[in-house]
Amino acid sequence: MHVNNLCKSRDLFQKISINICVKIILLSQLVTFLLLYITILLHFGEMRDLELIGGDLLMARDRFLGFISFILCFILTVPGYSLSVNSLLPDEQNTVTVFHEASPKVVYVHRLATVTNHSLKKMQIPAGAGSGIVWNNSGYIVTNYHVIKGADKLAVTLDKLTVPAKVVAAEPRKDIAVLKIDSPQALALLKGFKPFEIVHFNDLMVGQKAIAIGNPFGLDHSLSKGVISALGRKVPGIGGVTIHNMIQTDTPINPGNSGGPLLNSAGQLIGMNTMIYSNSGSSAGIGFAVPADDIERVVTQIIKNGRVVLSGIGIQSVPSNISHRLGIQKGILIADVLPNTPASKAHLRGTHKDAWGRIELGDIIVALNGHAVRNYDVLYNMLTEIKVGERVTVSIQRGNKQMDVTMRTIDVAGIQS
């Protein structure tokens, strides 16, 4: 309580100080105007005409003093220049502006499930909710994959209008899903829509302002703010792999915020609120957002191709827990090499049984383009940064020998790697 009172006193002091400074500036301008008026009067009158001094000058003085009184009353009584504590600080005005411009681009995503009631009739009930980002005026909506996972039907609320939505495609390994709305009424609302500007991950800084808008606990268009607490976090994702380059923020994020935007002070998109670290299930000041770079890359591919394009070499790997039991602590043990892929053409070997039924371990991928590969998570995240058809150098361990093999990646969407 004591700390809150100190904060309130500090804010009040700042507001009063700002208003006092404004008044000092206005009064100084007023004095300058007065001196200028007297100088002009003396110049043209030259103080030679005693009648002017005795008559017209006194009349001019009275009129001028009346004018000065009016200005002083205006300065002291108009709300914009008063000592009102309702005046907004620059940071407050910035937050208000960001919310006003960004909130129409945030939607409420409803997940519906089909159940059978007591009369054996099927009915749809709410099964969860989250937030979404309007990507463009064609009706594409971006949200988290876990928000729509397991839904029989989806609906989106846009500007108090609720319309059906369908899933275009998703990338569970990045926890990103793209929805589409086709309602003419909804599309009419998006005319003249300006999408969020994207801020690249490398341009972010720890300590900069972060603003979240979403629907926590079903409370639509709620705003919270904080700062970027850390960058480059590695967080286990719902798709079975670790998501790299996550943004950590202390901006309060709660259930229902998932899929909503994380913005900077310019109202630009820096990430999508995805998960929190909490024992209670509510905000504990540690939230994570998928960076806008990943969102843009995945969404662009889905809109263009109807799916995510993933570079790969055509191998399937042995799960880490099993390879660890086999004594392999670092690298990826190849379980199988898929036919007609770069890996098969480079004669990489998978794990297999020999003629006597003994297990013969396959090649172990230890590096890609000179960067160490500790596990499949690392390889997957490396491959997401590589374009299809790009030449890569794969370092493998085969028995006691290590060798480098060069190949070009292919699109292996739907295949492990």
The residues assigned a catalytic role are: 146, 175, 258
**Gap between the Cα atoms of 94 and 39, Å rounded:** 43
- Residue 296's Cβ-count burial label (10 Å; 0-12, 13-18, 19+) is middle
Q: Return the residue matching tokens 């799960």.
A: 319
Backbone angles phi, psi at 14, to 5 degrees: -60, -45
Instruction: Give the distance, in angstroms, between the CA of residue 274 and the centroid of all CA atoms in the same chain.
Output: 9
> What one-character-per-residue DSSP string does 81-138 give?
GS--TTPPPHHHHHHHHHHHHHGGGEEEEEEEEEEE-TTS-EEEEEEEEEEEEE-STT
Could you tell me if 143 and 109 are in contact, meaning their C-beta atoms sit under 8 angstroms apart?
yes
With contact defined as beta carbons under 8 Å apart, do 405 and 346 qualify? Answer: yes
What the block records as the tokens of 122 is: 């099927």
241 contacts 332 by C-beta, under 8 angstroms? no
Strand partners, 227: 209
Contacts of 35 (CB under 8 A, 6+ apart): none
Instruction: Kindly tell me the burial class for residue 416, based on how many C-beta atoms sit within 10 Å of its own C-beta (0-12, 13-18, 19 or more).
Output: middle
- Report the 10 Å Cβ neighbour count for 317: 24
